């Protein structure tokens, strides 16, 4: 089964286009529902963290001052992740920062993102909220650390992804859950999900 890299950024705000920068990143390699690799680092981009984000994440300006330069960390994490397909919770957010920080070191993304939030909206429409923490609680996954720290969030997003993949195999009888299938599911209208998965499964069986 393919390895996917689940990543999570902590940042100074919501938008790199508005000058926000990364302060921490984690990447968790997931294979067959098991974590087979971890990377985590704070990083110093030379910018000030607003106080409400210091409170939200627990990452202080003092911590960032002592952290390695952002360029070194981004080189390391992009080497660590290599060409593995990427996953994040609300991937449109992490994708923006991944692309922006890589561009600053003259690198570019080689692979696509899948989004655990879009998948959860389709596979767990009954959840009271699709925030990462609420979903972890809803399906009773272990809390691996403080929310809004990169490694804890990446690990919980990885275990949520593994749970969603199990759901596809169990409830929907999908025999092969690929990153490509996840990207297809996350875009399909909710009322067309059953149809989409049935069609996928028929194709898989026809090839065998």
Nearer to DNA, 1 or 56 (CB): 56
Task: Find the shortest distance in angstroms from Cβ 114 to DNA.
Answer: 12
Of the ranges 28-36, 37-45, 164-172, 185-193, which one interacts with DNA (CB under 7 A)? 185-193
Which residues from 97-156 bind DNA, rule CB under 7 A?
117-118, 121-122, 129-134, 148, 153
CB of 99 to DNA, least distance (A): 11
Query: What is the spatial distance between Cα 192 and Cα 207, in angstroms, rounded to a whole number?
Result: 23
C-beta closer to DNA: residue 12 or 78: 12
**DSSP SS3 for 196:** helix
Number of residues that bind DNA (CB under 7 A): 33
* Tokens linked to 130: 């699709």
Q: Give whichever of 131 and 204 is closer to DNA, judged by the CB atom.
A: 131
Residue 90 binding DNA, by CB under 7 A: yes
- 57 near DNA, judged by CB under 7 A: yes
DSSP, residue by residue, 62-131: HHHHTSPBHHHHHHHHHHHHTT--EEETTHHHHHHHHHHHHHHTT----S-EEEHHHHHHHH-TTSS--S
How many CB atoms are located within 10 Å of the residue 171 CB? 10
Among 39, 84, 93, 98, which residue sits at the site for DNA (rule: CB under 7 A)? 93
CB of 28 to DNA, least distance (A): 14
Residue 92 is a binding residue for DNA (CB under 7 A): yes
Contacts of 73 (CB under 8 A, 6+ apart): 25, 41, 42, 43, 67
CB atoms within 10 A of CB 13: 14
| Residue 8 interacting with DNA (CB under 7 A) | yes
> Which residues in this chain contact DNA in the complex, by CB under 7 A?
8-11, 13-15, 17-18, 23, 53, 56-57, 89-90, 92-93, 117-118, 121-122, 129-134, 148, 153, 186-187, 189-190
């Amino acid at each position: 089964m393919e390895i996917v890299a689940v990543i999570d950024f902590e940042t100074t705000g919501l938008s790199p286009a508005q000058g926000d920068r990364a302060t921490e990143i984690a990447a968790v390699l997931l294979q067959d529902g098991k974590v087979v690799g971890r990377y985590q680092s704070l990083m110093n981009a030379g910018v000030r963290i607003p106080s409400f984000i210091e409170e939200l994440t627990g990452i202080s300006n003092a911590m960032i001052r002592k952290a390695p330069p952002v360029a070194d960390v981004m080189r390391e994490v992009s080497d660590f992740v290599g060409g593995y397909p990427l996953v994040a919770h609300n991937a449109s957010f992490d994708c923006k920062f991944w692309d922006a920080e890589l561009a600053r070191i003259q690198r570019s993304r080689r692979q696509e993102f899948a989004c655990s939030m879009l998948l959860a909206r389709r596979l767990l429409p009954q959840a009271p909220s699709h925030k990462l923490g609420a979903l972890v609680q809803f399906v009773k996954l272990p809390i691996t650390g403080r929310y809004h720290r990169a490694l804890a969030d990446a690990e919980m997003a990885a275990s949520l992804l593994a749970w969603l993949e199990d759901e596809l195999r169990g409830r929907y009888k999908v025999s092969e859950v690929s990153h490509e299938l996840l990207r297809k599911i996350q875009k399909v209208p909710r009322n067309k999900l059953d149809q989409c998965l049935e069609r996928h499964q028929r194709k898989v069986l026809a090839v065998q």
